[in-house]
Structure 1
């Protein structure tokens, strides 16, 4: 059976690129390191590393094992942190995984409040472009808490934070910006070239679905990797759909509610029942997160959501 020490040795050899450097970093002798790696290979049924003259290379079995080794080490570190927190220590590290847009809109004010109340707790933020990536990262044990769209088929605890609204962003001088009720049908923009998201970003799926439901196949002016880039580019290159919570109160463009509205539910979820520190952060998130900002135009009552990854 593989031990955590053996997994640590394997990961360190891979990360440093040599047995010599790994032994130095781990403060063990090279023969002892080699012995433990060979013992791991015996336990797992085959060679994990190919020893080259000046490097090491993962074998196919090694490539399959490495992600699980990293996940096991990360989970062990989190177990240690949980144990210390359960003992009443208000310190440690909380790993939070999010999709890109959440780190721009919902999370910053929550983190500011959290920092004031828990100055000795470090927050490590992990960002992912798509909810599928976020869910896979959580399943692999890379974070304590995930914040993003509702996960599919998730067996752990899930807490709903609210229904996120999306806005059509236009330059302030656009003829369609002066909507009397703050709403705009996507069909009104059928002849426009849009600011879109790069493939792999979950918002690209949301926008494609919204266009399909409206019967549109618009032209693309430019694709943006990040949600914030789409907000900036829309100021002059074309309309864009962005989460309303990333739009600042002093935004100098126009932010209109699509008619019908485009929405998605945001959640916070964990693999198992969360410890006290994770629960405290989730409680703060549920209380303070402005999923729909107060300065977003009221528009018409929602007619039904367009859910998306």
Structure 2
């Protein structure tokens, strides 16, 4: 007996809700019917997939192996349905996009605005992850059509290079700079990271990929950053730094317009490549989005470039 898409949907829903009762409510089926279909799936694959605990369920080793394939099968089926609807002129379909938090804050909003203007009938489902490894795992499990982030290791699918993302230092206004004869600060757009070794930093929460990046950049400069505060929200880092809690290392594209903190380039530079990647050759909808992304992704916005200029406001 072969497994069915309905059985895959039931398994995924039980895992995502953590409960047969909640899954049955969400799927609008009775709990006995749900349990029967899960047992049928277990019979089809040749072993138990879920361990039924008193107040929860847990995947068995076989369940952990089967789950990514179940998610991928459901995603493929949804794409098939969307393509059929689109060909029939019934709908524009849906694009499932996955990325890391910092990219969703800085690079994606203008790209999605342009996409929406060009394809108003296409729905976007955005999934955000704290770390590039989580993003890669979700993409491999079939949770999205395209991922935008750093290059995934040992990836067999297509990869499209988008460019190199630059990271900048944020400090309170007036803190850095050389003082001229008139007592005014002379802008210096580069600050050696080693000069900030004794400072307390605005850091990122454990599990956030930017926490690893900051630690690696400081280690290269010969020190380990002391922590003044850790934030789970990437967008909060430049604001906390500008408020005087300590220096922050942030992606250039998340610095907001009208920002009143001091923005400087670190020395040595801190950069990371960004790519868009898919599991297989992208369909027409996904390919169109990747093409637009490659043309419209702005890695150093004009207002940030102005802050870095010796003639700029900072």
TM range (shorter): 0.7 to 0.9
Worse-superposed segment, 17-26 or 176-185 = 17-26
Structure 2 distance, partners of 1:169, 1:161, is 25
Match among 264, 279, 287 for residue 295 of structure 2: 287
What is the CA-CA distance between 1:61 and the residue it aligns to? 5.6
Structure 1 distance, partners of 2:203, 2:238, is 10
What is the CA-CA distance between 1:66 and the residue it aligns to? 4.2
Secondary structure of 2:304's match? coil
Within 5 Å, give how 1:1-309 maps onto structure 2: 1-12=2-13, 15=17, 17-18=19-20, 22=24, 25-26=27-28, 33-48=34-49, 57-58=57-58, 60=60, 63-64=63-64, 65-85=66-86, 91-176=92-177, 178=185, 180-235=187-242, 236-297=244-305
Query: CA offsets, 1:138-189, max 9 Å, x none?
Result: 1111000101112212111111111111110011121449453411111221
Unaligned runs of 5+ in 2: 179-184, 310-314
Q: How many residues align?
A: 298
Q: State whether residues 197 and 224 of structure 1, in contact with CA within 8 Å, keep that contact through their aligned partners in structure 2.
A: yes
Task: Flag the 1:56–1:289 CA change in 2: closer, same or farther, 3 A.
Answer: closer
Task: Flag the 1:181–1:3 CA change in 2: closer, same or farther, 3 A.
Answer: same
Secondary structure of 2:302's match? coil
Unaligned runs of 5+ in 1: 301-309
Q: State whether residues 96 and 123 of structure 1, in contact with CA within 8 Å, keep that contact through their aligned partners in structure 2.
A: yes
Structure 2 distance, partners of 1:196, 1:121, is 37
Query: CA offsets, 1:25-45, max 9 Å, x none?
Result: 445x77665543332222222
Query: CA offsets, 1:176-228, max 9 Å, x none?
Result: 49453411111221221111112211111111111111112232111111211
Structure 1 distance, partners of 2:31, 2:224, is 61
Q: State whether residues 257 and 297 of structure 1, in contact with CA within 8 Å, keep that contact through their aligned partners in structure 2.
A: no
Q: State whether residues 167 and 256 of structure 1, in contact with CA within 8 Å, keep that contact through their aligned partners in structure 2.
A: yes
Q: State whether residues 256 and 297 of structure 1, in contact with CA within 8 Å, keep that contact through their aligned partners in structure 2.
A: no
Structure 2 distance, partners of 1:50, 1:133, is 24
Cross-structure match for 2:182: none
Secondary structure of 1:97's match? strand
Q: State whether residues 177 and 188 of structure 2, in contact with CA within 8 Å, keep that contact through their aligned partners in structure 1.
A: no
Structure 2 distance, partners of 1:98, 1:292, is 18
RMSD: 2.9
Worse-superposed segment, 146-155 or 70-79 = 70-79
Structure 2 distance, partners of 1:31, 1:194, is 54
What is the CA-CA distance between 1:19 and the residue it aligns to? 6.6
